[in-house]
Amino acid sequence: MVTTRSSSRLRLEMTSAEKVASCEDLLQDILVRLPTKSLLKFKLVSKQWLSLISSPNFGNTHTRFLQDNRSLKPQALFLDVMYKKPPSKFKFLRLNPKTRRLPLFDFIDAQSIRILQSCYGLILCVSQSNNGKSYFVCNPVIKKFRMISFPKHGMVIGTKVTLYNHVGVNLAFDPVKSPHYKILSIWQEVFSKNDHASSTTCQMYFDIFSSETDSWSVLKVKSPLRQGIKFDRAVLFNDAFHWDSSLKESLYFDPYSESLKTMPMPTVPETWNRYFGESGGHLHIVATLGFSNIQFQIFEMEEDYSNWFLKYNLYLDAKAYVHVPRRRKTIICSYLLSCAIQYDEEKGDSMLAIFAGGFAISYNLVYNTEKRLRCSKIDDYKLRFGSFRASCHYFETLACI
């Protein structure tokens, strides 16, 4: 038998490949460095690769690797629409030009679904049916979901029954801090008209679910009565839930230390539309007013939570981007659907403005330049006057439920 140099090299290469395949720790160390899209394709290589890449340990390790190496960046913005009945396509604004499409929303049997919040690949959703609201956490990349069951609250003292209203559900997940996530469920005491007139504080329950222990802990707190806080929409910042409010003060809550604190809010007239979010390590509020010539006031919170300051003041002519109805009674939210602040290490702050008809812009607030973007077209976008619907980030991760 004649052995050529090329056949020897091939046998050596095959032997090296077999050695890698036989050592799962080495194989994981290699695969964990690859992009999520590549890993989804590599599930088809073999049963071993499928099992490894699909394991919760690998999913959490890969997500943390992306975060540690600062390569975990949002690929798109989910638009806040109602998905009547899956399967359906997500409505989104593309942030990464290479992201052509998102996974199909086809892995849950529910109806009237809205996306409430997203954290590094995990998405909190609510579904509305004749039986009421149902909440679930999912990851559309791996097509997994988990329904959430909440503790119930109610108290009977003598002949008096204390009722509680379910005012908010929020999600916290940070792969650097922990591979596990937390769910915050907020219940607020319901007052009668007579009670409301004489009460200055209210009883609240902050129920915290931990995916690590698969259990709920209940925190009972007394809080000043504040009716203007939007507990149903939280911004996760510095490991704490922050809520927008039209009042002079709002609240934020740390689920790890279980502490509830107050924070000031900027003075914005109630007639202005507003967006509340986080970008570049700062909290932002975007307030808008106008008809065709729209004014944007962008506030940023001081690092010590002492105050908000006006960082940018911008005017845009909406007619340059979208058809503006002639009737001045038409509210701005009928054609300016949403906005958000996006931070880039090289280019600084930009404002994303999403208009009706599948059109959006990215306006750089540092250099006063704009870039036109395409996004999903929305036929029916009904909004409450006074606030934009939130646009949640889409992260492409293997984070497990």
pLDDT beyond 60 at 331: yes
pLDDT score at 164:
85
pLDDT score at 147:
96
Cα–Cα dist 359/43, whole Å: 36
Closest CA to 341 of 288, 289, 280: 280
pLDDT score at 16:
57
pLDDT beyond 70 at 212: yes
Q: How far is CA 38 from the centre of its chain?
A: 24
Closest CA to 301 of 341, 337, 258: 341
Residues of the chain by 3-state class (helix, strand, coil), percent to 5: 15, 45, 40
* 184-199: average pLDDT: 68
pLDDT beyond 50 at 35: yes
pLDDT digit string (tens) for 338-386? 889 999 888 999 999 988 888 899 999 999 999 988 888 876 555 444 4
Q: First-to-last CA distance in the chain?
A: 56
* 317-326: average pLDDT: 79
Closest CA to 353 of 335, 378, 330: 335
Distances (CA, A) of 333 to 80, 159, 220, 233, 391: 13, 47, 38, 18, 14
Distances (CA, A) of 291 to 110, 285, 322, 336, 362: 38, 20, 12, 10, 20
Closest CA to 337 of 393, 273, 284, 293: 273
Strands 122-129 and 229-237: unpaired
pLDDT digit string (tens) for 63-101? 999 999 888 999 999 988 889 888 889 999 999 988 888
Strands 259-264 and 273-279: unpaired
pLDDT score at 386:
43
Q: pLDDT category, 190, cuts 50, 70, 90?
A: confident
Q: pLDDT category, 395, cuts 50, 70, 90?
A: very high
**Do the Cβ atoms of 399 and 120 come closer than 8 Å?**
yes
pLDDT score at 357:
81
pLDDT score at 377:
82
pTM: 0.87
Where b means 16+ CB within 10 Å and e means fewer, 137-176 reads bbbbbbebbeebeeeebeeeeeeeeeebebebbbbbbbbe
Cα–Cα dist 186/231, whole Å: 8
